[in-house]
Every structure is written in C-alpha cells, then in structure tokens.
Amino acid sequence: MLHTIIKKNSYQDSVNLMLLTNYISALEGVVQASIMMGTPANKDIMRNSGLYTDELEPAGANDMCIVIDTEAHSGLDDILVAVDNFLSDQSVSSSQSSMESVRSWERALKENPNANLAIISVPGQYAAAEAEKALDYGLHAFIFSDNVPVEEELSLKQKAHDKELLVMGPDCGTGIISGVPLAFANRVKAGNIGVVGASGTGIQEVTTLIDRMGGGISHAIGTGGRDLSEIVGAITMLDGIRGLAHNDQTEVIVIVSKPPAKAVREKVVSQLQGLSKPVVTLFLGEKPSAHEGNVYEAYTLEEAAMIAIDLAKGAAVQPLYSLPIDVPKTALNPEQTSIQGLYAGGTLAAEAAMLIADALQLKDGLIHEAGYVLRSNGHAIVDLGDDMYTQGKPHPMIDPATRIQHIEKAAQDPATAVILFDVVLGYGGHDDVAGVLAPAIEKAAAKAKTEGRNLYFVAALCGTHQDPQSYEEQKRKFEQAGVLVKESNNQAVRTVLAMMQLFLEDVPKAHRPATTFAPQAFSTSAAIEALLAGKPSVINVGLRKFTESITASGAPAIQYDWRPVAGGSVKMQQILNQLKDYRFTS
Amino acid sequence: MKYQTIDEANRAVIDKIAGGAPFLVDVVPAHTVIPELEGKTLLHAGPPIAYKDMTGPMQGSCVGAALFEGWAKDEMEARSMLEQGDIHFIPCHHVKAVGPMGGITSGNMPVFVVNNRSEGNEAYCIMNEGIGKVLRFGAYSEEVITRLTWMKDVLGPTLSRALKVTKEGLNLNVMIAKAITMGDEFHQRNIAASLVFLKEISPYIVNLDMDKQEMQSVIKFLADTDQFFLNIMMAASKAVMDGARTIQAGTVVTAMCRNGQDFGIRISGMGDEWFTAPVNTPQGLFFTGFSQADANPDIGDSAITETFGVGGMAMIAAPGVTRFVGAGGFQDALATSNEMVEISIDQNPNFTVPTWNFRGICLGIDARKVVETGITPVINTGIAHKEPGVGQIGAGTVRPPVECFEKALEAYASKLGLL
C-alpha cells in the first residue's frame, strides 16, 4: 500500500535523504520507501521505481516527498515518528574513535617530533626490523611482539646499548614509565619503588601489591623473558638497573625474574651489590635463606612487594613475612584430592607451581610441557597463556573463552577439589572477566552439587583500585558466584593448600654482608635518564588499544597503523629500496 | 638533468603542479581543437578499450553520440555501426582531453578550452549536462539528444562569446581557491564553484546581443546545474597535470582514469605509458530502487581531479558530502584526508582548506608511497547503472587497484636499468 506524505518547505540535503531512505526501508512493515525533494528529476526517479503517486504532482523542489510502500496492516504512524526522529537527530555518531592514526614512520615522527619511545606489536617476523628503525630514529623500543629469534634480540640489544638506548622485550608484556602503562599494565600510584622484570604478570603482581599496600611505583621496566639467558646476558636488565640507580624518583629497586643462567645471575647480583640503593630480588623458583648486603632476596612476589614497601618507608626488613591464612571450612568427598590451577598469567602459574611443589616436597614436579607447569599427585597447574593454547586465539587475559572450557572440564572430574585461577586486571586485559567467568563458575559448581560434590573456587585477583576495571566490582561478582577471592597469588595458593591439608614452612632469613660486593663506578646514558625523567612520548606501532591506554594516562602518543611494506611483497620492497637509492647520472 | 635523486625529480614535477596557471579561455566544438576527431571518431574515458569490451553505460554513451552526430537514425542502426567497427575510438587522454563517466566526446560537442599559462599547454573537456538522464551515464533518449543539441547550438556559443569579452579568460585558480573555502571538493560537490562561475560569467552573458529567451535558458541551466564546474575542474586538472608531466622523471602520478574495465595510471617517469589493472566498483549511497548489485564498475576520467589533489584527496574540504564515505562523519573525512597525506609528497599552499586548519590540498601522489603503504587514493565518484540507458543511480567512493602503481614502479625501475 502506497502512502504519500509531503512536508512543505522542508529542505534536506540529498545525502541525508538517502540515509533516511535506507533507514526507513529497513523498518518493519516497510516494503520500499523513497524520500526525496520534489524536483522534476526526482519525481522521474520515483516513477522509475514504481513509487509515483498523484499526490506528488503539486510538490515542488523545496518540499520533502515521502512515499512509503507498506505491508497491508502496518501502522504508518510509527514510521512517521521514525522519520521525524531521524531528521531531528542528524548529528553523526561516528563509530570509530576520533583517534588519529598514521601509516608511516615518516608521518609518525612528523606528528610527534618529541617521541622517545616506540611500542612495537607487529607480527614477530617484522618486529626486529621495526625496532631497528626505532633505534635508528633515536627512540627506545618496547617490543611486545613475540616470536623474534634470540639472535635478533641480541643484536638489537647490543645496538641499543651502543646507542645508549633501551630495548624492552621482545615478548615484553608489561611496562610502566612514570605512571604510563605500556601494553598490559596496571594503573599504579606514583612512588619511590622501581622495578626491572623479565616477567609480565610478575611485574603486574608486584606493582599492584605495592600499590594496594600503600606504596608507589616510579617505573617498571620489562626486559622480555630471555634477557637473562646466557645468550643475551641481561643487557636490558643491567641497563635498566643503571637507569633506575640514577633516577631520582627511585629509592628502592625490585628485580623480578625466573632463575637466570648462573653466570648471568652473578653479573646481575654483582651489579646490584654495587648500588647505593637497596634492592629486592625475586628469582622465581629459588628459596633463599638469607639477605646479602643491600640485596634482599624474596621467595614470593608478595614477599618481594612487602620487603620493598618496608625499604621504601625506611623500615627494617623483617626476617619473616608470613601472613596468617584463613582456612575455609570444606566438605570434600574422599576422592576429591586434586588442585586444578587454571592460570592466565605465566609467572603467576609458575609461582603457584613452585609453592605447591614445595608443599608437596616434590623434587621434580615442575614441568614445562603441553602448557602444564606442574603435574603431580593429581594436582595440575596449567598456563593457559602458553603458545599451545593461544595459537590463532586471543590470550586468556583478553578472552576468557579457553578458561571457561577448562573450568567445565576440571569441574567434571570427580577428583577435583579446588579450582584455582588468577584474574589480571589493568590496561590490555578483558573489561569484565568476572562478568564472563562467574556464570560459568556458578553453573559448574551447581552441576557438581547435583552429582554430590562440593566444588571450591579460589581466585587471585591482581589489579589496583585505579584500574579501568573496578577492582571492588570484580571482587564482588566473583564472591557472589561463591569464589574465594584472595588479594595475592601467594595467599590464594596457600589457602588452597590449607584446604587440602598441605602446608608450607617459611624460614626466617638472616641478613649477612655481601660476599660478591664489588663497588663499581658506572653511569647511565643521557637518553635512558631522559626516558625515566618524565612521561614518555610514544609512537605505538601496532595494536591500537595500547595507544588508548597511554593517552588515557595523559602521555602523548601517535598511533601507527602498521602494515608490512608493499603488502609484504619482497619484489616490490626491493624495487622501492632501489628507487630510494637511485642516483641520476647527468 | 637538474636533479640527482627521484625525490628531486618528483619535487620538480610537483613544483610545476603547484605553479600551474589554468585559465578558462573558450568553449568550442571539439573537432576544431582536436583534429583527431575527423570522420566517425569518438573519444572515450580511461585507458584504451575496444567497443565490445565497454560496459553498459559507455556503450550507451556511444549510441547517444552516434545519434547526436546524426551518424545513425536510431538506436539499432547506431549499435550495428558500433558493433561492425565503423566508429573509431581514441582515449580522451591521448588528445589532451578528459571526459566524465563514459567520457564519450564527439566532434560537434562543445568543449571547454583551458589554457595552462605557466606551460602554454591546453586541455579540453565536454560540458556538464546536469543530472538524471544524461549521456555521460549512458542515457541516450530523445531528451538527452535534445539537450546536447541545445548545448551545441546555444550554451556553447554563448559561453564562448562571453569568455571572449573577458580580457584573458577566467582565472581558474582564483575560483578554485574561493570555492574550496566554501565547501567544495570539486568531484562530489561543485555547487560553490558552479555559483562562482555563474557570478563571474553572467555579467558578460547578459551584455551579449542575443535572443532573450535563449539567454534566459542559458542562465537557468547554469543556475540549475550544481555540478557544472566539475568538467571545468577536470579540464583544469588535465591542463596542469599535462604541464607537469613534461618532466619525464620521477614517480609522481600524473593521470588516473577508468574505462569501466581497467583502471589506468601514468607516472611522470614513464611519460605516456598506461599501467592498468581491473577496476573496482564504487561503494556508496543509492537512489531508491537501486542497490550495489546494479552498480557499474568504476568509470570515467574524472579521477584527474584526485590526481591534482582535490576530490577524495580533499574530502575534508567538503563536510557536506563526507557521508558518502559510508556512515562516517566529519572525523572520517578528516581521517581520509590525513590518510591521503601519507601518499602525497607535499601540500599545495595555493588551495588551503579551512576545515583542515588551512592546510593545503594534497600535492603530488607518489606511486612509491602508494606501494609502500598500500594506501590507494580515495576517489569520489558518481555511480552509473551497469545497463545502458538507465543513468546515474547513486554516488560514492572507490579506490584504484594497487597493481597499477606496482606495475608503474616496476616499469620505471626497469627503465632506469635497476631490474
């Protein structure tokens, strides 16, 4: 049925009217619609599309002509209201953010001439080349990309060291420079504790604990997981330590790493002993028995944070940092004997594995295969961020889907007593992990209940109250779903162990003078000093959301929407290089 | 040679673009300035193409031109002449001309004559016929032919006489500079420039000794035809770009055009050679009853405006048409022009855009930058129905295939002995 409405003297631009026509045509009950100004040419178009009515005859060029073909009983009134609403609200709400982006280094440097740091998150095969360009332009590089060969890492780091620049990464998940989060990082309070870490979630756990314990962070420098390997030789960690040693904001330094190669460890510790600032070290997996000189050795990430807080306040370091554990009452069936740890953070998973292995007094329970970091006596700790789970899928810190599958699977196993997991908040992470995991957890627990089992969930919640996700809200959502939420990974694991009647013994640590003390005169580079002197000015090469979190922190950043040169065509890349270098001979 | 590197050669080319001085000096029958239009010859848009390979609208335009020239008495006869190869074709670009959409230009059609005073070269383009059923979109009904005849007999001669009264023709740089600040980007939107043209020319027209009825019809047509300046802009762009491509070195894109089948580009270092690849189909907004499925692949020489730096390259200049980019608004227009900066060598200070904080329009598309970044120029364009005779069905944007630019660079590297 054809309806004609003429709005006299109601001029609209033809683009508006085409958009309106598209909008109206999509409404329920509308077969076809045409909305145009009543010019002779437009009336012809109406005729051609079978929407001409006699009522259009008197309409003129300044009259809006609406012709709607509706299904038999559709109400015309609703459609007219929709027309009016559309015309009264024509401001375009752009779906894209107003963030400006560039597509070349040239323009990135032009738009942000003061840039001093490049964040690189391009595919691994291209990352080294882009980092090299950053160094050539005089920028420090933070390489988020993984799958960069270790030889390339070494050569980049050597080049950076020679140019007195810093290369963080590759495979560097976390950094904080003067409060500005780089990649996956939390918003932490400013303070006098600096961190250098070869572990992403390790840095996140330490920095957020320090924040929530009332301390503050000056900088957190990520080095990438291989920095302390024999091959790389801790180039970035050593330069980072020197940088923090010369940084006025930093009074205490925390080192986080998995156990390094022996020679590298000695090199690092000897450097640390030469500092005038106190240092806390956490070499995850080592169980230190004493502090040495100005180097205080921690067993857990939480202990590292607590020692750092005491040092930052100028308080004496205590021989023991044990927190009392509230052991919840449990009612388990006899066959419910296993702990299933489903982790998103690799370092947090490793710490859980270490604590459980220690409690079980395992000599060789720690493994690294098929995503497991521990598999013993029925207990298992899985690192769901391991490559084998993230091939072609987002990391579980971004997308909880893989974790939900594992929760369902673990919950079905009659041997499972407790499911232990971590939740890492902050920039880069999922907006509402609790909102997604809690229903899955409730469902799994309810199902176990119908099968005659009580299933327990314990979570380690890593984040700060300033993070983009609300810490309290996440905590509340998990607790409503029956999850026991702990404020550190250490406490979460110890709670689970206690539930299983397993206990860890902490031994008080003595403080003795340094044996490897070798005072050395060293300096840091002016460029690293400048990087740590204020908020960084960033060129973000790759993932857009990294730029968003930087600008949200008030630091300047340019988004470089990177694509491989010439679409990755080797032939065209060669031609471009030849044309670039070509000289006409006259 | 004055230059040592490709960058220096490119700089020399773009200096000639920025220094171009196009003047509209006359409107004349095409055959008087294009001797190649002897006998049964037609010009077409884009790189060379045979009649059988032309898409619907261009074939429709050919039929219309044969009827207009009186070579055939009806559509059937025109088609059979065309199919038998009785009519000879030349690309507009090969004879200093450019043609919108189908680009079909015949000897008796009046063309604008634009003189580029900085180089002394000329360029030509037929006049804009308005909207709806028009030859350039492949329509050839009686009303179309009647209008073309009126343009030949009345509009063309009137404008010619008016222009002859002016001292030196109309200085187009001045008109372009004015209109860009009034919201034109010169491809999708020419209403400001068309009005500036009417303002400049009408004092001369009304002073002519001519039939009052005819004078009124000319003024009315100019007043009604929002896109009238587009064809002048095309001729101006062609004149300036031809002036610049007298320097046969470097990688500046000196022409972009489409024939409905292939997209063709020229770069400064390769002179007259075309580098082609299959065209894309424009995406945009459609008149009621039509959809993307009806759209003809990209067609016309009008992308010469983008080559010069306006049209899609200057999207931000025309907030009024930005929504043709898609559902986007001002920010998307800004992002588009900013993206175009990435493939341009410089910005032209002669034409500053108020909505772009008075930055100049893009100057000199560098084929190397296109290939390096994978960013192709954005072209604002009308959309023709793929069947002949239907005409325009919408408007939108389209991008050239990157292969054109890759082929051009490869050929240039080869010419320089690098491959």
- Could you give the CA distance from residue A344 to residue A400 in angstroms, rounded to a whole number? 9
Q: Could you tell me if B186 and B138 lie in one domain?
A: yes
Contact B82, B51 (CB under 8 A): yes
Reported as type and span, the H/E element at residue A175 is: strand A174-177
Q: What is the pTM (predicted TM-score) of this model? A: 0.80
B287·A32 Cβ contact <8 A:
no
Q: How far is CA B277 from CA A349, B258, B297, in A?
A: 54, 10, 13
Mean pLDDT of chain B: 95
B132·A566 Cβ contact <8 A:
no
Name which of A49, A578, A586 is nearest B288 (Cβ-Cβ). A49
Nearest Cα residue in chain B from A49: B289
Domain region containing B317: 248-416
Please check whether residue B346 lies inside any domain of the structure: yes
For residue A519, count CB atoms less than 10 angstroms from its CB and return exposed for 0-12, middle for 13-18, buried for 19 or more.
exposed
Please check whether residue B17 lies inside any domain of the structure: no
- Could you give the CA distance from residue B235 to residue B98 in angstroms, rounded to a whole number? 7
pLDDT tens column, A16-30: 788 888 888 888 888
Name which of B131, B323, B406 is nearest A41 (Cβ-Cβ). B131
A102-321+524-560 folds as: Rossmann fold (3.40.50)
Q: Is pLDDT larger for residue A40 or for residue A141?
A: A141
- Could you give the CA distance from residue B189 to residue B176 in angstroms, rounded to a whole number? 12
- Name which of A11, A12, A15, A20 to mutate to probe chain B: the one with the most chain B Cβ atoms within 10 A of its Cβ: A15
Please check whether residue B243 lies inside any domain of the structure: no
pLDDT for A539: 97
Please check whether residue B237 lies inside any domain of the structure: no
Instruction: Please give, rounded to a whole number of angstroms, the shortest distance from the CA of A154 to a CA of chain B.
Output: 28
- Could you give the CA distance from residue A245 to residue A223 in angstroms, rounded to a whole number? 16
User: Is A19 an interface residue toward B (CB < 8 Å)?
Assistant: yes
State the CATH architecture for A2-96. 2-Layer Sandwich (3.30)
Q: Could you tell me if B215 and B262 lie in one domain?
A: no
Q: Could you tell me if B266 and B133 lie in one domain?
A: no
Partners of residue B251 in chain A, C-beta under 8 Å: 579
User: Is A13 an interface residue toward B (CB < 8 Å)?
Assistant: yes
Chain centre distance of CA B114:
13
Q: Which of B115, B173, B170 is nearest to B360 (CA)?
A: B173
Q: Is pLDDT larger for residue B49 or for residue A362?
A: B49
Q: Could you tell me if B129 and B257 lie in one domain?
A: no
Residue carrying the six token digits 């002779």: A40
Write out the DSSP string of B113-138: EEEETTTTEEEEEEPP--SSS-GGGT
Contacts of A343 (CB under 8 A, 6+ apart): A349, A352, A373, A381, A382, A383, A384, A385, A421, A422
CATH of the domain at B127: 3.90.1710.10
Number of CB pairs < 8 Å for A and B? 125
Partners of residue B330 in chain A, C-beta under 8 Å: 92, 94
Please check whether residue B15 lies inside any domain of the structure: no
Nearest Cα residue in chain B from A12: B320
Reported as type and span, the H/E element at residue A31 is: strand A30-37
pLDDT for A94: 42
Contact B116, B122 (CB under 8 A): yes
- Dihedral of CA B32/B35/B38/B44: which sign? negative
Please check whether residue B254 lies inside any domain of the structure: yes
Partners of residue B342 in chain A, C-beta under 8 Å: 102-104, 107
Instruction: Please give, rounded to a whole number of angstroms, the shortest distance from the CA of A79 to a CA of chain B.
Output: 17
Length of chain A in terms of residues written: 586
**What is the SS3 assignment for A379-414?**
EEEEECCCHHHHCCCCCCCCCCHHHHHHHHHHHHCC
Q: Could you tell me if B66 and B196 lie in one domain?
A: yes
pLDDT tens column, A182-221: 999 999 999 999 999 999 999 999 999 999 999 999 999 9
Q: Could you tell me if B151 and B227 lie in one domain?
A: yes
Q: Could you tell me if B212 and B295 lie in one domain?
A: no
Partners of residue A45 in chain B, C-beta under 8 Å: 132, 287-289
- State what percent of residues in chain A have pLDDT above 90: 68
- Dihedral of CA A289/A295/A297/A303: which sign? positive
Query: What Rg do the C-alpha atoms of chain A give, in angstroms?
Result: 30
Maximal C-alpha separation, chain A: 102
Contacts of A352 (CB under 8 A, 6+ apart): A341, A343, A373, A374, A381, A420, A489, A492, A493
Instruction: Please give, rounded to a whole number of angstroms, the shortest distance from the CA of A431 to a CA of chain B.
Output: 26
Span B62-73, mean pLDDT? 97
Q: What share of chain A is helix, strand, coil (3-state, %, to 5)?
A: 40, 20, 40
Q: Which of residues 106-165 of A touch B (CB under 8 A)?
A: 107
A103·B6 Cβ contact <8 A:
no
Instruction: Please give, rounded to a whole number of angstroms, the shortest distance from the CA of A92 to a CA of chain B.
Output: 6
Please check whether residue B2 lies inside any domain of the structure: no
B6·A579 Cβ contact <8 A:
yes
Span A504-516, mean pLDDT? 87
pLDDT for B28: 98
pLDDT tens column, A236-271: 999 999 999 999 999 999 999 988 999 999 999 999
Domain coordinates of chain A in residue numbers?
2-96, 102-321+524-560, 338-500
- Name which of B372, B383, B414 to mutate to probe chain A: the one with the most chain A Cβ atoms within 10 A of its Cβ: B372
Nearest Cα residue in chain A from B328: A94
Contact A461, A424 (CB under 8 A): no
Token readout for A528 is 């690293």
- Could you give the CA distance from residue A544 to residue A541 in angstroms, rounded to a whole number? 8
**What is the SS3 assignment for A271-332?**
HHHCCCCCEEEEECCCCCCEEECCEEECCCHHHHHHHHHHHHHCCCCCCCCCCCCCCCCCCC
- Could you give the CA distance from residue A182 to residue A203 in angstroms, rounded to a whole number? 12
Q: Which of B174, B196, B231 is the last residue of a domain?
A: B231
Q: What is the value of ipTM here, to two decimals?
A: 0.93
Span A53-77, mean pLDDT? 84
Q: Could you tell me if B209 and B268 lie in one domain?
A: no
A584·B9 Cβ contact <8 A:
yes
Partners of residue B132 in chain A, C-beta under 8 Å: 41, 44-45
User: Is A89 an interface residue toward B (CB < 8 Å)?
Assistant: no
Token readout for A378 is 């029925």
Q: Could you tell me if B306 and B198 lie in one domain?
A: no
pLDDT for A50: 86
Q: Which of A232, A157, A240 is nearest to A203 (CA)?
A: A240
User: A52-56, A203-207, A309-313 — which is least confidently predicted?
Assistant: A52-56
Same fold, A102-321+524-560 and A338-500: yes
Instruction: Please give, rounded to a whole number of angstroms, the shortest distance from the CA of A85 to a CA of chain B.
Output: 18
Write out the DSSP string of B349-390: EEEEEGGGTTEEEEEEEBHHHHHHH-PPPPEEEEEEBSSTTT
Assign B89 to helix, strand or coil. Answer: strand
Please give the DSSP secondary-structure letter assigned to residue B73. S
Contact A343, A349 (CB under 8 A): yes
Q: Could you tell me if B224 and B280 lie in one domain?
A: no
CATH of the domain at B298: 3.90.1700.10
Domain count, chain B: 2
- Could you give the CA distance from residue A566 to residue A561 in angstroms, rounded to a whole number? 14
Assign A358 to helix, strand or coil. Answer: helix
* pLDDT of B327 strictly over 50: no
Nearest Cα residue in chain B from A61: B224
pLDDT for A371: 87
Name which of A32, A571, A572 is nearest B288 (Cβ-Cβ). A32
Span A537-545, mean pLDDT? 93
What is the phi/psi pair of residue A348, to 5°? Answer: -65, -40
Q: Which of B231, B256, B285 is the last residue of a domain?
A: B231
Q: Could you tell me if B84 and B32 lie in one domain?
A: yes
Partners of residue A92 in chain B, C-beta under 8 Å: 323, 327-330
What is the pLDDT confidence band of residue A521, given thresholds at 50, 70 and 90? low
Please check whether residue B356 lies inside any domain of the structure: yes
A338-500 folds as: Rossmann fold (3.40.50)
Q: How far is CA B341 from CA A102, A135, A543, B257, B361, in A?
A: 9, 25, 22, 21, 9
Which contacts qualify for B345-348: CB closer than 8 Å, 24 or more apart?
A: B345/B10, B345/B11, B345/B14, B345/B252, B345/B369, B346/B14, B346/B18, B348/B17, B348/B18, B348/B309
pLDDT for B388: 85
Token readout for B397 is 């944007």
What is the pLDDT confidence band of residue A520, given thresholds at 50, 70 and 90? low
Token readout for A286 is 């080592």
Half-sphere exposure of B109 (CA within 13 A, CB side): 33
pLDDT for A90: 62
Angle formed at CA B66 by CA B63 and CA B71, multiple of 5 degrees: 140
- Could you give the CA distance from residue A566 to residue A569 in angstroms, rounded to a whole number? 6
User: A84-93, B68-77, B91-100, B183-192 — which is least confidently predicted?
Assistant: A84-93
Contact A63, A38 (CB under 8 A): yes
User: A107-111, B35-39, B327-331, B367-371 — which is least confidently predicted?
Assistant: B327-331
Instruction: Please give, rounded to a whole number of angstroms, the shortest distance from the CA of B171 to a CA of chain A.
Output: 30
Partners of residue A13 in chain B, C-beta under 8 Å: 320
Q: Could you tell me if B54 and B158 lie in one domain?
A: yes
* pLDDT of A518 strictly over 80: no
What is the pLDDT confidence band of residue A326, given thresholds at 50, 70 and 90? confident
Partners of residue B289 in chain A, C-beta under 8 Å: 32, 34, 45, 48-51
- Could you give the CA distance from residue A228 to residue A396 in angstroms, rounded to a whole number? 26
pLDDT for B294: 95
